Amino acid sequence: EVMQKQAEHFGARIVFDEVTEVDFASGSPFRIKTYSKEYLADGVVVTAGASPRHLGVPGEEEYIGRGVSYCGTCDGFFFRGKDVVVVGGGDSAMEESIFLTKFANKVEVIHRRDELRAGAVLQKRAFANEKISFVWDTVVEEIVGNGVVQGVKVRNVKTGETSFRKTDGVFIFIGHYPNSKFLEGKLAMDEEGYIITDELYRTSVPGVYAAGEIQDAHFRQIATSVGQGAGAGMELEKWLAARE
Ligand SMILES: Cc1cc2nc3c(=O)[nH]c(=O)nc-3n(C[C@H](O)[C@H](O)[C@H](O)COP(=O)(O)OP(=O)(O)OC[C@H]3O[C@@H](n4cnc5c(N)ncnc54)[C@H](O)[C@@H]3O)c2cc1C
């Protein structure tokens, strides 16, 4: 709200709508279509972000913010002295598991395979951490609670055996996807759909810039995204001025 007020104070107009289609092919001014209107824009900064992948199991949506989290850096603090499970086996899952041991009493990593996908150094650090333990070949089938998370129902994918594990928090790190579907074929993207930008946040189309998580799968923080947005805005301003 404070950020919105500050932006409006400097002349920004904020519209709550969803972009459904863009036409970047004919150059500036670009056509931006939303559900309710079509806009013409001399320049564009795309900041549609990225979303964490959800498990899609019962209880997950219900307990988001009440024990279910997709960000250890953001929510780890609330689990001081508590037991948590981490779902996933990649770099993010290991980085966040190690981070969570600063607060949590115990971190149990539940992974659907019998080995991690994370890099060797991260694996070594995770295995060496006394607070972290591993539950292999196992998937979470349900998140259970009573107002707040109390545990997870899990199934061993090799034996089919099901069991209940008590926990205070469920941290899910099974990947992110950029919200770039509406830009497919319009801007250059990598194989995961992240928009490719250079160091000045320029995309493959002159006059179209991108900032934040839609082009940054690495940092994924408010401070870095805001900084990138400021950088992209400054570059777009220069680009517009050079055309006058
Ligand atoms: C649960 C959670 C908690 C977090 N807590 C923290 C924290 O404490 N500290 C921290 O540093 N980081 C935190 N993060 C990460 C932080 O939120 C992101 O790094 C940051 O918000 C990314 O900024 P962004 O502008 O790239 O994307 P976002 O903030 O995700 O903004 C993208 C916006 O674009 C909109 N959008 C998407 N598609 C369209 C479309 N087609 N048309 C119009 N609008 C569209 C979305 O609705 C959204 O409003 C958290 C993330 C999550 C998921």
The HSE-up count of residue 229 (CA atoms within 13 Å, CB side) is 16
- Residue-wise burial string across 18-39, b where 16 or more C-beta atoms lie within 10 A, e elsewhere: ebeebebeeebebebbeeeeee
What does DSSP say about strands 106-110 and 132-135: parallel, antiparallel, or unpaired? parallel
Mean pLDDT of the chain: 96
**How many A from CA of 49 to the centre of ligand 1?**
5
Task: Give residue 244's pLDDT.
Answer: 81
User: Considering only CA atoms, which residue is closest to atom 14 of ligand 1?
Assistant: 221
CATH superfamily of 2-50+176-243: FAD/NAD(P)-binding domain (3.50.50.60)
Task: Give residue 170's pLDDT.
Answer: 98
2-50+176-243 and 54-172, same CATH topology: yes
Q: Tens digits of per-residue pLDDT, 33-53?
A: 999 999 999 999 999 999 999
Q: Tens digits of per-residue pLDDT, 63-88?
A: 999 999 999 989 999 999 999 999 99
Rounded mean pLDDT, 201-212: 98
Task: Give residue 17's pLDDT.
Answer: 96
Q: Residue type for 202, please?
A: R
CA-229 nearest atom, ligand 1: 25
Q: Which of 22, 74, 103, 224 to mutate to test the pocket of ligand 1 (most atoms within 8 A of CB)?
A: 74
Catalytic annotation, residues: 71, 74-75
Domain ranges of the chain: 2-50+176-243, 54-172
Query: Is 131's pLDDT higher than 90?
Result: yes
Task: Give residue 220's pLDDT.
Answer: 87
Instruction: Give me the CATH code for the 54-172 domain, please.
Output: 3.50.50.60
Task: Give residue 171's pLDDT.
Answer: 98
User: Considering only CA atoms, which residue is closest to atom 5 of ligand 1?
Assistant: 74
Query: Is 113's pLDDT higher than 90?
Result: yes
